[in-house]
């Protein structure tokens, strides 16, 4: 695994106690050649998942805000879909 000079400057030696079976399993799952590579990949995966979680939360927040600006709808979504389909069908039949 190539490590750039910039990344090498950021690397720190850590002396930590880990369960060997977890390291072995992670190494196999992640396809890592070394234990260090497995730990790097596992940490990258955790960080990526956190970024995805934050992005999903941001989208949900935007959806809730949009729904609030649009106002509360009296009908449920399935009824709204039925009405929309009916209107679209009527508009299509009216154009022929």
Domain that holds residue 84: 16-94
More confident residue, 20 or 3: 20
Is the pLDDT score of 73 beyond 70? no
CA separation for the pair 32, 28 (Å, rounded): 7
How many C-alpha atoms does 59 have within 13 Å on its Cβ side?
6
Per-residue burial over 30-51, b if 16 or more Cβ lie within 10 Å, else e, is: eebeeeeebbbbbeeeeeeeee
Is 30 within the bounds of a domain?
A: yes
Is 8 within the bounds of a domain?
A: no
Q: What percent of the chain has pLDDT over 70?
A: 89
Is 70 within the bounds of a domain?
A: yes
Model pLDDT, residue 79? 77
How many folded domains does the chain comprise?
1
- Lowest-confidence segment of 41-45, 68-72, 79-83 by average pLDDT: 68-72
Is the pLDDT score of 70 beyond 80? no
Is 62 within the bounds of a domain?
A: yes
Is 1 within the bounds of a domain?
A: no
Q: What is the CA radius of gyration of the chain?
A: 26
Is 6 within the bounds of a domain?
A: no
Is the pLDDT score of 75 beyond 70? no
Model pLDDT, residue 2? 62
Is 5 within the bounds of a domain?
A: no
Is 43 within the bounds of a domain?
A: yes
> For the segment 14-41, what is each residue's pLDDT rounded down to a tens digit?
899 999 999 999 999 999 999 999 999 9
């Amino acid at each position: 695994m190539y490590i750039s000079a910039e990344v090498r400057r950021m690397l720190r030696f850590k002396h930590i106690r880990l369960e060997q079976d977890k390291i072995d399993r992670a190494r196999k799952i992640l396809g890592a050649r070394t234990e260090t590579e497995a730990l790097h990949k596992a940490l990258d995966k955790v960080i990526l998942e956190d970024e995805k979680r934050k992005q999903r939360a941001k989208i949900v927040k935007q959806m809730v805000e949009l729904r609030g600006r649009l106002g509360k709808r009296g009908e449920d979504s399935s009824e709204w879909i039925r009405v929309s389909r009916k209107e679209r069908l009527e508009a299509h039949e009216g154009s022929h």
